[in-house]
Amino acid sequence: MVVAYPILTCDAAGKLEAALFGGDEAREWPAMQQAGRAVADAVLDDFKELGGFPRAGRVLVLAGKGHNGGDALLAAKRIVETYPEARIDLILVFGAKALRPLALRAWRDLAQAAPERVDWVRKPASQGYDLVLDGVFGFQFRPPLDARVAGLLTVVNALPIRLRAAVDLPSGGDEAGAFLADFTYATGVVKTPVLSLRNAGRLRYLDLGFWRHGDGAFASSPERVLVSGTLDPLRGLRPPHSDKRTYGHLFVVGGSRNYPGAVLMSVLAALRSGVGLVTAFVPESLVTTFAARAPEAMWVGWPETPGGGLALEGSHLLHERIARASALLVGPGLGREPETLVLAKDLVASVSVPLMLDADALQPDIVTAGHAPRILTPHAGELARIEGKTTADSVIVRKGPVTRIDHGGISYHSFFGGPVLARGGSGDVLAGLIGGLLAQTPADPLGAACRGVMWHGQAADALARSQGPVAVQTTQLLDHLAAVLRKAPA
């Protein structure tokens, strides 16, 4: 079972909040305080990609009249309490008199927390800010965007700002003049519009505990968001009476003289996945080098085509060993030589162990061959090649800014990762990681895919926060996998 929470339409989200709080401000206020703290903590975490929030950082808060405004105000309070030299410029977009009771209470809390460091202003400072917190409109916004508010947001969008954060949804949605966010922080519930808004930036889900105590009637949504508990099966102690065979045996088929690095990265990732054994079938000319780089794997040299790919004549090497495998990964660095693709199709058609198909193995006639359960990991170009041509029971990992795992009519969204993954090899690392997890749980391809995607994404977040998103190498992801699993639960 995959731990994931429903993503709701705005109307359904409103009904859930009504069921949880019943309009009782005494129950809503603690949730708003929790949301404000969660937004601030998440913003400060994401600021680590920029080297951390400045000690004397300048913050602009755009507060509307309702709950989103209250969340933004309480997030600002948390920031000035954490950074005693930070300063806040506050714009109450509709004026103080328009504030609803909880937003008014949040404003007073902020003013009392740091009266000498909070300035109530009518327009933003032209020199810009380190951070903007957008809390003008929430999910109850209905277009069109008011011309005065659009004018304000247009001015803010043009300012030099290091990080632009929207609470729940960027104000104005996709209207002209809407807020342009670098990050959008969905509090409590993810609303479906945020998935398609280009100006939402990168998405973060902040779990406020709604789904541990909420109405189960909303749990049937076909859209889900992956959460911390998704990785729980990988945490904790392993059974004391176990050995390497307890944790599966992954076979990897891939590599070519033209693309030698891809299969090596997949094997290195698989070795970090917790799998017990990895056997890699690669062109024989690569074995010596790869064995020196990753001696933990068993390397089997495969006869090569004149172009340096895997030749058909080597298929016996896999077939005589396949009974030892609990999962098979085909594709990283495979290349597109016709003979090699025929080989890949024949292998996929003939094995019964669960499959992980990646890269050049993502061809229409390969992904539909045979009857073994399978995970497919296409990026946008590969997806266009196989869209509508996959088997009904395939688990499809649609890689992108928000990676989506589709299976059985349900889509699981991962909000982890980001532009640090926009570099060669990140997909090869993901393939090896998922393949290793699949070998450990061959009866649960969906779980392996979801856990692999989330683990990979969280390691990418950790890498970007540690080293920044630019001057890094893809294989550095591997060094952050362990820390993700060892992080204390919230």
pLDDT at residue 140, rounded to an integer:
81
CA-based nearest residue to 375, from 384, 362, 389, 365: 362
Task: List the domains of the chain with CATH numbers.
Answer: 4-221 (3.40.50.10260), 232-486 (3.40.1190.20)
Helix, coil or strand: residue 218 = helix
CA 241 to chain centre: 34
CA-based nearest residue to 165, from 196, 200, 212: 200
Distance CA 82, CA 86 (A): 9
Cβ 137 vs Cβ 172: under 8 Å: yes
Distance CA 474, CA 386 (A): 26
Task: Give just the sign of the alpha carbon dihedral 423, 426, 428, 431.
Answer: negative
Distance CA 98, CA 149 (A): 15
pLDDT at residue 216, rounded to an integer:
58
In which element (H, E) is residue 11 found? helix 10-21
Q: Is pLDDT above 50 for 214?
A: no
Which pair of structure tokens corresponds to residue 27? 């129950």
Cβ 475 vs Cβ 269: under 8 Å: no
| 240 DSSP assignment | S
CA atoms within 13 Å, Cβ hemisphere of 128: 9
**Helix spans in 251-311 (H):** 260-272, 287-293
Q: Is pLDDT above 80 for 215?
A: no
CA atoms within 13 Å, Cβ hemisphere of 277: 15
Distance CA 32, CA 102 (A): 8
| Rounded mean pLDDT, 292-319 | 97
pLDDT at residue 141, rounded to an integer:
87
Q: How confident is the model at residue 42 (pLDDT cuts 50, 70, 90)?
A: very high
Distance CA 258, CA 119 (A): 60
Q: Tokens 């960027």 map to which residue? A: 170
Which pair of structure tokens corresponds to residue 220? 């049937």
Mean pLDDT, rounded, of the chain: 95
Q: Each residue of 20-31: pLDDT tens digit?
A: 998 899 999 999
CA-based nearest residue to 166, from 193, 126, 127, 128: 193
Q: Tokens 């692999």 map to which residue? A: 452
User: Alpha carbon of 450 to those of 150, 377, 406: distances in Å?
Assistant: 39, 11, 10
Distance CA 486, CA 276 (A): 20
Which pair of structure tokens corresponds to residue 311? 């030749």
Give the gyration radius of the chain's Cα atoms.
25
ω before 401 within 30° of 0 (cis)? no
| Rounded mean pLDDT, 113-132 | 95
Which pair of structure tokens corresponds to residue 192? 């479906």
Q: Is pLDDT above 80 for 39?
A: yes
Whether the full predicted model's pTM is greater than 0.85, yes or no, is yes
Q: Is pLDDT above 70 for 213?
A: no
Q: Each residue of 352-397: pLDDT tens digit?
A: 999 999 999 999 999 999 999 999 999 999 999 999 999 889 999 9
Question: In sequence order, which residues have a C-beta less than 8 Å from that of residue 471 and are 6 or more positions away?
Answer: none
Residues forming beta bridges with residue 299, ordered by sequence position: 280
pLDDT at residue 155, rounded to an integer:
97
In which element (H, E) is residue 165 found? strand 161-167
| Rounded mean pLDDT, 309-321 | 97
In order, the DSSP letters of 76-103 are HHHHHHH-TT-EEEEEETT-GGG--HHH
Distance CA 87, CA 212 (A): 36
Q: Each residue of 267-303: pLDDT tens digit?
A: 999 999 999 999 999 999 999 999 999 999 999 999 9
pLDDT at residue 135, rounded to an integer:
98
Q: Is pLDDT above 60 for 490?
A: no
> What does the longest C-alpha to C-alpha distance in the chain come to?
80
| Rounded mean pLDDT, 405-413 | 96
Q: Is pLDDT above 70 for 200?
A: yes
Distance CA 179, CA 165 (A): 9
Q: Each residue of 447-484: pLDDT tens digit?
A: 999 999 999 999 999 999 999 999 999 999 999 999 99
Q: Each residue of 124-183: pLDDT tens digit?
A: 999 999 999 999 998 888 889 999 999 999 999 999 999 999 999 999 998 999 999 999
pLDDT at residue 212, rounded to an integer:
74
CB neighbours (10 Å) of residue 364?
A: 13
Percent of the chain surpassing pLDDT 90? 91
